[in-house]
A = this chain, B = another copy of it.
Amino acid sequence: MQGKTTLKTLAEILEISPSTVSKALHDSPEISEKLKVKIRELAKKEHYIPNAMGRNLKSRETKTIGVIIPDILPHFFAKALYGMEAMAGEMGYQIVICISNESLKKEIKSIHTMISSGVDGVVMSLSQETQAKMQIEHLLQLKKYGIELVLFDRVLSIINCDKVSINDALQAEQATVELIKSGCKKVGYLTNILNTSVDDQRKQGYQDAMKRYKLRNRVIGFNPKDEFPAKQINTLIAEGKLDAILAANELSAIMTIKSVLDSGYEIPKDVSVIGFTNGVISANFRPSLSSIDQHEEEQGRLAMETIIERLQGKLPKEPLDYKLRTSIIHRETTRHE
């Protein structure tokens, strides 16, 4: 009862050799059916759990995918993770998760953990700091150890690997155009994910749309650790400089709504709002939030599927670069006829 059960333990009990046990548990044709049954039964009885360390030292695959995300609190990542976990399970893989906490240092540490613990592949979204400093040496380490990499959401074009992301620029542009077409002239872009590829692209798309309609663009950035810039927003509205907000995430969107309404303005009459990520809050908020559905669960599933198929040699040599289409869901914070 006491002590770990190993192959050797099982072998000793049955007075046979460890290699025979190993083969039997791998259903090798070399072993007689009778013995296999006996060994399998004992293994079950003794609750034998193979030691991944031992197994992996012989450089076999671990059927484990490492996932590194910058943060778990935003709905986007939580939901993407959910999708990854589900897909991995369906394809017979396990996942281990590390959180980089938007820090480069932690991201490097996480990569080391992944390498060290022998995952077959890594799916990750880059930390804010990584993207700001453009330091990517640690990602190259993975290649050296023969570990596949798939980037999702926060991707980087200079890295040669499979990528899964949404067409952020296009989507931001489209949302901005819709706001403009609904009658807004002073659309602002609100973001708290400065310096990320995702943010850059959304900003770009937004600015392109504004430029096309010859409108002045206004970017309101803030650090999530600081206070929400409610005052700034309300002042802009009061000065007639803002009549719509495209928010880079769901939480900023609802905080915008709250501060705008609390100041006595009406939504969408005075100010329209669209938020990225169509999370649980969007539909249930009052007023319900018009938002951009990033199909985060699908993105997670696709990223996981991609890395596993890559590992299984099912993909072409050229890296894939999925740009998923998203959709705008109009609810009560935007005007429409």
Contacts of A3 in B (CB 8 A): 144
Q: Is A292 an interface residue (CB 8 A)?
A: no
A-B contact pairs, 30 of them (CB 8 A): A2-B144, A3-B144, A4-B146, A49-B116, A49-B145, A51-B118, A52-B53, A52-B113, A53-B53, A53-B54, A53-B56, A53-B57, A53-B118, A57-B57, A64-B117, A72-B72, A73-B280, A81-B99, A86-B101, A94-B113, A96-B96, A96-B98, A96-B113, A254-B285, A257-B286, A258-B286, A261-B286, A281-B281, A285-B285, A285-B286
Q: Is A216 an interface residue (CB 8 A)?
A: no
- Contact status of A1 and B281, CB under 8 A, knowing A94-B109, A109-B94, A115-B49: no
- How many copies altogether? 2
- Contact status of A117 and B52, CB under 8 A, knowing A78-B72, A85-B99, A94-B109: yes
Q: Is A89 an interface residue (CB 8 A)?
A: yes
Contact, CB under 8 Å: B85 / A101 = yes
- Contact status of A47 and B81, CB under 8 A, knowing A52-B53, A97-B96, A117-B53: no
In chain A, positions 99-118 with a C-beta closer than 8 Å to chain B are 99, 101, 106, 109, 112-113, 115-118
The docked-state distance in angstroms from the alpha carbon of A144 to that of B5 is 9
Q: Is A82 an interface residue (CB 8 A)?
A: yes
Contacts of A5 in B (CB 8 A): 144
In chain A, positions 257-313 with a C-beta closer than 8 Å to chain B are 257-258, 261, 280-281, 284-286
The docked-state distance in angstroms from the alpha carbon of A49 to that of B82 is 30
Q: Mark A1-24 against chain B: 1 for CB-CB distance below 8 A, else 0.
A: 111110000000000000000000
Contacts of A101 in B (CB 8 A): 85-86
- Contact status of A51 and B2, CB under 8 A, knowing A96-B98, A286-B261: no
Q: Which of B1, B281, B285 contacts A144 (CB 8 A)?
A: B1
Q: Give A contacts to B, CB under 8 Å.
A: 1-5, 47, 49-54, 56-57, 64, 72-73, 75, 78-79, 81-82, 85-86, 89, 94-99, 101, 106, 109, 112-113, 115-118, 141, 144-146, 251, 254-255, 257-258, 261, 280-281, 284-286
Contact, CB under 8 Å: B112 / A49 = yes
Contact, CB under 8 Å: A118 / B52 = yes
A169 nearest CB across to chain B (Å): 28
The residue on B at minimum CB distance from A95 is B98
The docked-state distance in angstroms from the alpha carbon of A98 to that of B86 is 11
The residue on B at minimum CB distance from A118 is B53
The docked-state distance in angstroms from the alpha carbon of A86 to that of B3 is 32
Contacts of A54 in B (CB 8 A): 53, 57
